[in-house]
C-alpha cells in the first residue's frame, strides 16, 4: 500500500534533485529516504528515477510526481481546515434569537461579553422561535433565545429552557388609527382588535380571548420579524400584538396598549441543547443572560 509519507519523501527528492538535499529539507537521514523510495518503487512496480543520482525522473516518475503533489496538497488543506474549524469552535459563540430579544436583551450581554472576552468571536442571527429551537437542537447554534409559544411546545423536548424575562403583551397601533382613537379615553380591551385589521404573528397565540381568536381567523397578513411588524403598523396596514419591550425605542407614530381582560404576558427563554455541553466561552455568554426583573 502506498503511504502518504512515501509520497512526501518522493516529492522532496524529486524537487531537490538529490537525496542529501531532500534529507536536509525533511530533517531525516539519506538512508531513511532511500528506504522509503525503494518501498514506493516496489509498490508501483517500476523505477521512478532514471539514475541513482535521483536528478531525472522516468515517465512514470513524472506521473507519480503530479499525483504526489496533488495528494500532499490535499492533505495539507484538509489538516488546515480541521485546525481552523477546531479553533473556530473553541473561540466562537453562536447565538440565535427571536428579533425582539436581539433588539432588547442581547445588546447589553454582547457589550459585557466583548469587554470581558475580546478574543472570542460572536455570531448572532435572528429568526422565529421554531427555527431557533431547531437550530439549537441540531447543534447549529450554541444558545438560543425564544418566545414561549404553543407552536413551539412539541419541539422543546430536545432543549433545556430557562425563563429570563416576562413582559406584558399588548396591541401596537398607529397613534391616529381606529384602535387608538377608540381606546384613548378608556382602558383598552382585547375586544377592540375587531375594529382594525390584525397583522398576525406567533405571539398572538398567547392571548386567550375570543376576539383575538376571531381576528386571527380573518387576518390576511402574517409576519414574524419585529421590525417588519412595526413598519407595517406604522404604514397604517393594521395593528399587531407584541411585547412591551418591542417598543423600547420611542416612535411618535406608534402607541402600545396593554389590555387586562385578561392581562397577557410572553416569556423569553434561553435554550441550549440537552445532549451537548457548552464550551467554556459559550457557557460564559449563557451566564450573562441572567433573568431580568419582570416588566410592569
pLDDT band at 244 (very low <50, low <70, confident <90, very high): confident
Q: In 175-274, which ranges are E strands?
A: 199-200, 221-222, 240-243, 254-257, 265-273
Q: Does domain 4-88 have CATH number 1.10.10.10?
A: yes
Domain boundaries, the chain: 4-88, 92-288
Beta carbons within 10 angstroms of residue 116's beta carbon: 11
Q: What is the mean pLDDT of the chain?
A: 88
CATH of domain 92-288: 3.40.190.290
Q: What is the pLDDT of residue 139?
A: 87
Average pLDDT over residues 246-252: 77
pLDDT band at 225 (very low <50, low <70, confident <90, very high): confident
What nine digits make up the cell of 242?
407584541
Interval 166-210: pLDDT, tens: 889 999 999 999 999 999 889 999 999 998 999 999 889 899 999
Domains 4-88 and 92-288 share a fold: no
% of the chain residues with pLDDT over 70: 92
Interval 76-122: pLDDT, tens: 888 876 765 555 555 889 999 988 888 888 999 999 999 999 888 89
Concatenating the DSSP letter of every residue in 100-121 gives HHHHHTHHHHHHHHHHH-TTSE
Question: CA 86, 88, 90, 96: dihedral to nearest 10 degrees?
Answer: -130
Q: Do 296 and 243 touch, CB atoms closer than 8 A?
A: no
Q: What is the pLDDT of residue 80?
A: 74
What nine digits make up the cell of 33?
529516504
Task: List alpha helices for the chain, DSSP H.
Answer: 4-16, 19-26, 30-44, 59-90, 99-104, 106-116, 129-137, 178-183, 210-218, 226-234, 280-288
Q: Do 214 and 194 touch, CB atoms closer than 8 A?
A: yes
Amino acid at each position: 500500500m502506498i503511504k502518504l509519507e512515501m509520497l512526501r519523501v518522493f516529492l522532496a527528492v524529486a524537487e531537490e534533485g538529490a537525496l542529501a538535499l531532500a534529507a536536509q529539507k525533511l530533517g531525516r537521514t539519506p538512508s531513511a529516504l532511500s528506504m522509503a523510495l525503494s518501498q514506493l518503487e516496489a509498490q508501483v512496480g517500476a523505477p521512478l528515477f532514471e539514475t541513482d543520482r535521483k536528478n531525472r525522473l522516468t515517465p512514470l516518475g513524472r506521473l507519480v510526481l503530479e499525483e504526489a503533489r496533488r495528494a500532499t496538497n490535499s492533505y495539507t488543506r484538509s489538516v488546515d481546515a480541521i485546525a481552523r474549524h477546531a479553533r473556530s469552535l473553541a473561540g466562537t459563540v453562536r447565538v440565535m434569537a427571536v428579533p425582539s430579544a436581539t433588539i432588547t436583551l442581547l445588546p447589553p450581554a454582547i457589550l459585557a461579553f466583548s469587554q470581558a472576552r475580546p478574543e472570542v468571536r460572536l455570531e448572532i442571527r435572528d429568526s422565529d422561535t421554531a427555527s431557533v429551537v431547531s437550530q439549537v437542537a441540531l447543534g447549529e447554534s450554541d444558545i438560543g433565545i425564544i418566545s414561549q409559544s404553543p407552536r413551539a411546545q412539541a419541539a422543546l423536548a430536545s432543549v433545556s429552557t430557562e425563563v429570563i424575562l416576562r413582559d406584558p403583551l399588548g396591541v401596537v397601533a398607529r397613534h391616529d388609527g381606529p384602535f387608538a382613537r377608540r381606546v384613548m379615553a378608556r382602558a383598552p380591551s382585547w375586544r377592540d382588535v375587531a375594529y382594525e385589521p390584525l397583522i398576525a404573528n406567533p405571539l398572538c397565540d398567547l392571548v386567550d380571548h375570543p376576539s383575538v381568536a376571531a381576528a386571527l381567523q380573518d387576518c390576511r397578513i402574517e409576519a414574524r420579524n419585529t421590525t417588519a411588524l412595526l413598519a407595517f403598523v406604522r404604514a397604517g396596514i393594521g395593528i399587531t400584538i407584541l411585547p412591551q419591550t418591542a417598543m423600547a425605542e420611542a416612535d411618535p407614530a406608534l402607541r402600545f396598549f396593554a389590555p387586562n381582560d385578561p392581562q397577557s404576558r410572553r416569556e423569553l427563554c434561553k435554550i441550549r441543547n440537552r445532549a451537548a455541553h457548552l464550551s467554556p466561552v459559550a457557557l460564559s455568554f449563557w451566564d450573562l443572560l441572567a433573568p431580568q426583573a419582570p416588566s410592569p
